[in-house]
A = this chain, B = another copy of it.
Amino acid sequence: MGFTVKEIAAALGAKAVGDVDLSVTHAAEPADASPTALALAMNPDYGDTLINGSAQVAVLWDGADWQALGLKAAIIVARPRYAMSSLTKLMDQGPDIEPGIHSTAVIDPTAEIGKNATIGAFVVIGHLVKIGDNARIASHVSIAKGSSLGSDILLHAGVRIGPFVSIGDRFIAQANATIGGDGFSFVTPEKSSVEKVRENLGDQGDINQQSWTRIYSLGNVEIGDDVEVGSNSTLDRGTIRATRIGRGTKIDNLVQVGHNVQIGEDCLLCGLVGVAGSARIGNRVILGGQVGVSDNIFVGDDVVAGGATKIFSNAPAGRVLLGSPAMKMESQIEIQKALRRLPRLMRQFSELQKSVSKNGEKD
């Protein structure tokens, strides 16, 4: 199986040059590229590697001289990073799910499953579940009662969908992701230490010995179209209203989204991000790895938070954040620089104190 240069260029909406009927079997980094590979050399740094390597076909940066690079054919792209999306989509072999519905799958007779579904071994689909056309559901997935999923969804092995979850089209969940777990919501008969600390800025007052009582989650999870959720990530149900994830938002691995959280459209949440209960996040927000968002706060549209930023209070739209506690990236960088000089400042200050006190005495 292979792809001709002409085919690939068409998929990329890009220009093909040289022997466009040549065929490649796979993509490779320039250093690893055999004559049957498509070398991905999307900036001039790869030039020497191509000249010295075995590649005969490559994707090249705009302005590259493919013949000088010793190639037989090439595809020239304007925005290489964007070209990667069409290219990898073309070459992707898809998940490992056999066509049809596996004989071991346990599907409730009231469930409605669209046309052309592929469902793996040991899948469990509950009462009144609805799934659109072209679903691909890998082994060991469970979908609880009353949930509804759109068309062209892809659930990898071991994904858990809780009851009454609502999900749009083209949803992808990586393996062992959990959607629709109960919210983490507990209450004590009298005010708890957390409530008191929040009211009194750090003073928890007298300590009551109380146990926690559960607040059940009656809300569900609502997920728009074109959302992805990474491996082993967890999205909790809302308490009364739904936890919501807007259209086009992508969530990486090991991300925690708490109960009642509202996330807008086209956001990116990187690995190990935690969004605490009832936080609201706007559109096109980007949270780097290990970012934390406190409960009940608001993060405006187009906020970008660097890795490990901890957002404790509302963030206005468009703000670029860094650090813990989060602040404007430029302020954080200025403080970080100052911090590195702080020990020296301390010493210089002592000297200055002495010097001033001496000057004072001299007067």
Contact = CB atoms under 8 A, between A and B. Distances in A.
Given A124-B122, A207-B302, A28 B240 contact: yes
A267 to B, nearest CB: 9
Given A29-B241, A139-B124, A345-B349, A324 B324 contact: yes
A145 interface: yes
A353 to B, nearest CB: 6
Contact of A338 (B210, B231, B286, B346): B346
Contact of A254 (B202, B256, B352): B256
A270 B266 contact: no
Contacts of A126: 96
Contact of A27 (B27, B102, B218, B349): B218
A105 to B, nearest CB: 9
A233 B160 CA distance: 14
Contact of A292 (B209, B290, B349): B290
Contact of A352 (B192, B272, B333, B352): B352
Chain A interface main SS type: loop
Nearest to A236: B253
Interface in A22-74: 26-29, 32, 40
Contact of A96 (B163, B175, B343): B163
Given A142-B139, A194-B304, A330-B201, A207 B318 contact: yes
A84 B215 contact: yes
B189 A181 contact: no
A187 to B, nearest CB: 5
B176 A160 contact: yes
A213 B82 contact: yes
B92 A218 contact: yes
Interface residues of A, number: 145
A276 B284 contact: no
A165 to B, nearest CB: 11
Contact of A230 (B96, B184, B204, B339): B184
Contacts of A81: 187
Given A88-B218, A92-B217, A325-B336, 11 more contacts: A85-B187, A85-B213, A85-B216, A175-B178, A175-B181, A178-B232, A186-B250, A234-B254, A345-B346, A352-B356, A359-B360
22 contacts: A85-B214, A85-B215, A89-B216, A95-B144, A95-B163, A96-B145, A122-B122, A139-B142, A160-B176, A181-B231, A184-B250, A204-B304, A230-B234, A232-B254, A234-B271, A236-B253, A256-B272, A272-B274, A274-B290, A276-B307, A338-B342, A359-B359
